[in-house]
Amino acid sequence: MKRIFTFLAGAIALLINFTSGAQQNKTDNKSLLWRITGKHMAKPSYLFGTMHQICKDDYIWTDKMKASLENSEKVCFEMDMDDPGVMMSVASGLIDKSGKQLKDYFTPEQYKLVTQYVKDSLGMDIAMFQQMKPVMLQTMMGLSEAKCKDAVSYEETIIKTAQATNKEVLGLEEPQEQLSALETIPTDSVISAVLEEVTGHKKDETDDYAKLINAYKEQDITALYRYITESKSIGDDMGPFLDVRNKKWIPRMAKKMDKSSVFFAVGAGHLWGDHGVINLLRKDGYKVEAVK
């Protein structure tokens, strides 16, 4: 269940610090970058699938990806990541207003294990999480899956390029929409996942993560989507995290693309599937082609 956060809550954490579709063409699915044209668009826009954190050796950034970003007039993430107001809204939304502190969700023995894990694996003092909802701690643990000292973030590197070239940065949804998706996860499930992590009971999840990274490196978004939706360790119901949000994004993307060439950078898990962004854009009349 833990990596349901990788494609959603990863963006939130970055702000604080911070069966494939049968109707789709199965011969063109090995690409992280897609060109969007058609309807009344004056210029093409681009859709790129990110990993919120990945080891440097696994990081993919081709000349065509670089050129697509450079040629776009604006950049759009899941949320507007250079807006200080967004960061403040996210921070406020992750504060636990139930009257509990983080330690109240664990037994004293469990809390000692969690405290030590946060210190050793995250390099943080657990005191900084005391007023936060447990999902925030789980989010940070999810980002630590990249077991390397040189982990990088696509969002961070893309936004640096956007800022350096004076490109406007946009968002597809408001902070509360991402926070609402997180709220669909029962707190008991979050606590259980945290304890599984700190006690080392996560072999299957480690295997799943390796498969995800391998699929990402091969730019095989069909396999990546399948691992996300079928893996028991990632979660049984990804609807609130993928399908529901994807459907909301299409008209918002259309509005932005109608005015400018936009480089959309969203979690790679959103791209494929019957209700993936690629298929939904095609159903809406756009031509969406892999850029290789």
pLDDT digits (tens, 9 = 90+) for 149-193: 788 889 999 999 999 999 999 999 998 888 887 787 888 988 988
How much is the pLDDT for 172? 96
In the chain, domain spans: 2-94+149-182+203-290
SS (H, E, C) 27-47: CCCECCEEEEECCCCCCCEEE
**How large a percentage of the chain has pLDDT more than 70?**
83
> pTM of this prediction?
0.83
Q: Are 31 and 219 in contact (CB under 8 A)?
A: yes
Residue 50 has pLDDT above 80, yes or no: yes
Q: What is the pLDDT of residue 202?
A: 55
Helix (H, G, I), strand (E, B) or coil at 275: coil
Reply yes or no on whether the pLDDT at 102 is more than 60.
yes
Q: pLDDT value at position 201?
A: 57
> Which region holds residue 219: left if phi is over 0, alpha if psi is between -120 and 50, else beta?
left
Q: Which residues pair with 266 in a beta bridge?
A: 49
**Which range is least confidently modeled, 43-52, 122-131, 277-286?**
122-131
CA dihedral sign, ordered 77, 82, 84, 88: positive
pLDDT attached to residue 291: 96
CB atoms inside a 10 Å sphere around CB 178: 25
Query: Is the pLDDT score of 88 beyond 90?
Result: no
Cα separation, 253 vs 200, whole angstroms: 41
pLDDT of residue 205: 58
Distance CA 45, CA 24 (A): 20
Region for residue 223 given its phi and psi (left: phi exceeds 0; alpha: psi -120 to 50; beta: otherwise): alpha
At 143, is the pLDDT very low, low, confident or very high (cuts 50, 70, 90)? Answer: low
Q: What are phi and psi of 55, to 5 degrees?
A: -65, 145
Please count the residues of the chain. Answer: 292
| Three-point CA angle 178, 179, 182, nearest 5° | 95
Q: What was the pLDDT predicted at 5?
A: 42
Question: Letter for the amino acid at 82?
Answer: D
* CA angle at 5 for the pair 202 and 91, rounded to the nearest 5°: 125
User: Does residue 38 carry a pLDDT above 60?
Assistant: yes
194-246: pLDDT as tens digits: 998 888 755 555 667 788 899 999 999 999 988 887 765 444 456 667 888 99
Judged against a pLDDT cut of 60, whether residue 262 lies above it is answered with yes
Lowest mean pLDDT among 16-25, 144-153, 260-269: 16-25
Mean pLDDT of 96-108: 94
Spatial distance between the Cα atoms of 61 and 212, rounded to a whole number of angstroms:
17
170 forms beta bridges with 76
Cβ(82)–Cβ(166) below 8 Å: no
pLDDT higher than threshold 80 for residue 148: no
CA distance 111 to 105: 8
Average pLDDT, rounded, for the chain = 84
Strand, coil or helix: 50: strand
Q: pLDDT per residue over 55-83, tens digit each?
A: 999 999 999 999 999 999 999 999 988 88
**Neighbouring C-beta atoms of residue 126, cutoff 10 Å:** 17
